[in-house]
Structures are given as C-alpha cells and as structure tokens.
Amino acid sequence: MRYLAHRLGLFVVTLLLITIVTFLLTNVLPGDVAAMILGTRSNPVTAAALREELGLNLPLVVQYLHWLSHVARGDLGVSLIFKEPIARLLAQKIAASAILVVLSLAIAIVLAVPLGVWSAVHRDRWQDVIGTGTALAGISLPDFFWGIVLILVFARWLDWLPSSGYASPLENLPLALRYALLPSVTLALSLMAHLMRMTRSAMLEVLSQDFIRVCRAKGLAAGTILIRHALRNAVTPVLTVAGLQLGYLFGSIIVVESLFNYTGMGWLTFQALLNRDIPLVQATVLMIAIVVMLTNLGIDVLYTVLDPRVRLT
C-alpha cells in the first residue's frame, strides 16, 4: 500500500506536468482558432467576438487554470469541430481503440514469445536467423507500409477483409472484429518485433545460468525446463518492454487508424490536430497519458505475481 500510495503521488505530479506541457504546446500551434471555426463567415468583428467568448484573449496562465479547474470536475469541454461534449466523444472512441489495442497486444504476444524462445533455443542456427530477420523487418519498416501491404493483399487481391471502416462491437461483434483485424495486425507487427528480440535476449541470459544446468542434470524434460523454469524467469523484462511499448502503440495508432479510416482515439486525435481543436487535443493527450501510466503501474504490480522474489518498495 505504501508503494501504491507513492506511485499514485508520482502519477498525479506527472499528470500535472503533462497538462502544462500539452496546454503550452497546443497554444503555440500556428493558425487562428476563431478563423478556423468560422470558416467563410470569418471577419475581424465576428472573430474578435468568438475569441472573447472562448476566452482566448485571457493570459495563458488564466486560461490554463480555468481549463484545469474544469478538468478536475470532469468537464472536458465541448469539441470545436464536432460540437459535442468531449467526454462523450472520448467514451465512444476509447471503446473503438480498445479493441485494436487488445487485439494487437494479443497477436504480438502470441507471435513474439514462441518466436523468441525458438530463436534462443536454436541460437546461431537457421531458426535463429529466420527469427531475428523477421524481428528486424518488423522494426525497420514503418507501420503505414505494413498497413498498405495488408490492404493490398487481404482487402484488394483476396477480398477477405474490409480495407476501412468501423462497426460498434455492441451492435455487431463479428463485423467489428473484421474491421479491426487488419489495423490490429498492422500495429502488432512492430510490437511483436520488439517483444521477440527482448524474449530472445532474456531467454539466452536465463538459459546460461547455473540453475538451468542443474535442471538438465536432474533429467527434467526439455519442455519443463523451457516453460516452467526459463520462460518464467525471462518474462519480467518482456513485460517491462510491453509496458513501455504501449506508449509507442498509442503513437502508432494515430497513423494506423487514419490509414484504415477506423474512427477510434487515434483518428479523433488526428482530426483534432488537423482542425486545431485545442480542447479536444488536450483531452485526448490527457486520456492517452492516463491509460499509459495506469498500464505501467499495473505491470509493476504484476511483477510480484509472476516472480515472488520481486518486492515493491
């Protein structure tokens, strides 16, 4: 409990710093928010009146404190481009992106862990060359490249899956999974490469330790040694990398959702940036930061479950 209280205190301080940086950066973006909202109806008089209504003429410190006070009460404001409460928009889009994140993590782990173990067991053989080559390809090539390749192969040539769109899982779960599969695989490929390399490195280190030689000397089965002893001790650094890569995943999701026209958090963030919807940009960045930090906190606590030797202090 002391550890959790300490981490939650750091969580609040970090979140406060993120709000300050985000607020400052969004307010130095080029362009006039009032002119973008008014469009063709913009003129000096109406633009000045709108700036006064939105509080854009106030000092930045006053604007920030005003915004922070509303956020503390759960009021994220109204989107300037969608004309809807931001909290409602986020609730809809987080559910859409959650499908992508869960699917991509599941696909990456299912592919990365066996491939990493396989490469470690067959170190410096052709199996290792295939595994490390696959990982390097996943790391080297950008997400939008894999997305275009998947669209060409599975949507255009084979016509198995839709190339764009979104369906609500509450209305039609099979259709929602069909729309989410290609974006999820696109996100998973790069994540899989990082996890595979870490799994291989961790397994190589564990397999060279004395207790593994003792297990072999006792005549334990190779599968028991790999799964019960080696992999269990190697999984902690893999979890660490998975937690760190979650932040990268939310960065990639902006590109991937825009590529597949999948209307989730990434697509919403891109639209907010494109149209300089400052309240929406601030809210999406804040929400992504909260999810990433809570996930890393959960992974730290999970260490004690997977490895009883770990103590949180």
pLDDT digit string (tens) for 194-226?
888 888 888 888 888 788 788 888 877 877 777
Contacts of 163 (CB under 8 A, 6+ apart): 151, 155, 156, 182, 260
Mean pLDDT of 227-244: 76
Describe the crossing of helices 232-259 and 86-121 by its angle, rounded to 10 degrees.
130
Q: What is the DSSP letter of 163?
A: S
- Model confidence at 38, pLDDT cuts 50, 70, 90, reads low
- Average pLDDT, integer, range 44-62: 71
Q: For the domain with range 86-306, which CATH number is right: 1.25.40.10, 1.10.3720.10, 1.10.1040.10, 1.10.357.10?
A: 1.10.3720.10
The residue ranges of every structural domain in the chain are 2-72, 86-306
Cut 0.95: pTM above it: no
Residue-averaged pLDDT of the chain: 80
The Cα 52–Cα 47 span in angstroms is 9
Identity of the highest mean pLDDT range in 165-169, 180-184, 198-202: 180-184
**CA distances (Å), 134 to each of 185, 249, 298, in order?**
15, 19, 30
Q: Which is higher by pLDDT, 252 or 30?
A: 252
Q: How confident is the model at residue 66 (pLDDT cuts 50, 70, 90)?
A: confident
Distance (Å, whole) CA 50 – CA 33:
9
* Residue located via tokens 């870490």: 198
**Residue 144 to residue 248: CA distance in whole angstroms:** 14
- Residue 29: pLDDT band (50, 70, 90) is low
pLDDT at 311 over 70: no
